[in-house]
Every structure is written in structure tokens, then in C-alpha cells.
Copies of this chain bind each other. A is one copy, B any other.
């Protein structure tokens, strides 16, 4: 066995920085491949390959327009990532840090009061 395919998951697909860049560019709206090639400074075949991966995980959709292909973002594919990482937000949010402090204070108080646990 080796590492999971890049097309296995949105997680795997998006682990590659270039692919994140591509998605970031597509936030601005539909773009033909050549636009992306120009903006990324990458060779055209590499861009097409990255787009294929993004297509396979559903993060982008394509539309034909004459001899060019217009790629468009489909952000829903990223929702699982958002949902997962969202659970960890409290670990760096100051607001929650304060809440944690309060809760710890309460625990301490209960321990001082003695009894079980």
C-alpha cells in the first residue's frame, strides 16, 4: 500500500498547494485553462492535470465553450474539510481560551470542595 490517491478525498486533493491556488483563482469566477496557466506560471499540462484531480473530487466543474474549457468552482466538495476543522476552532480562538479558563476555574473550585471524582 502507498499513500492514498490524491483523488481519494477533498483532503488529499487540496493538500497540494497548486491546487489550492487554482481554487483560490476560481473564486473570482469561471476561467479558461489558459488564464490559470498564465496566473500560476505553470506549464499547461500540469494545470490540466491538477484540474483533473479537482474535477474527480468534485471541487470544480467544466463547461465547454468552443475550443476552450471554462472551469468553475464547486465549493461544496470542501464542506467536509470545513466541518472537520471547525471542531478545532475553539483551540485557538481567544474567546474560547477565556471560556476554557473559566471552566478550569470551576473544576478547581469543585476539587477544593472535596468529595468524589
Please tell me the number of chain A residues within 8 Å of chain B, measured between CB atoms: 31
| Chain B proximity of A90: nearest CB distance (Å) | 8
The chain B residue sitting closest to A91, CB to CB, is: B75
The chain B residue sitting closest to A96, CB to CB, is: B75
Task: Count the copies.
Answer: 2
| Chain B proximity of A35: nearest CB distance (Å) | 17
Establish whether residues A15 and B4, one from each chain, have CB atoms under 8 Å apart when the complex forms: yes
A75 to B11, CA, bound (A): 17
- The residues in A between 49 and 99 inclusive whose CB is less than 8 angstroms from any CB of B are 73-76, 78-79, 81-82, 84-92
* A residues whose Cβ falls under 8 Å from a Cβ of B: 3-4, 6, 9, 11-12, 14-17, 20, 23-24, 27, 73-76, 78-79, 81-82, 84-92
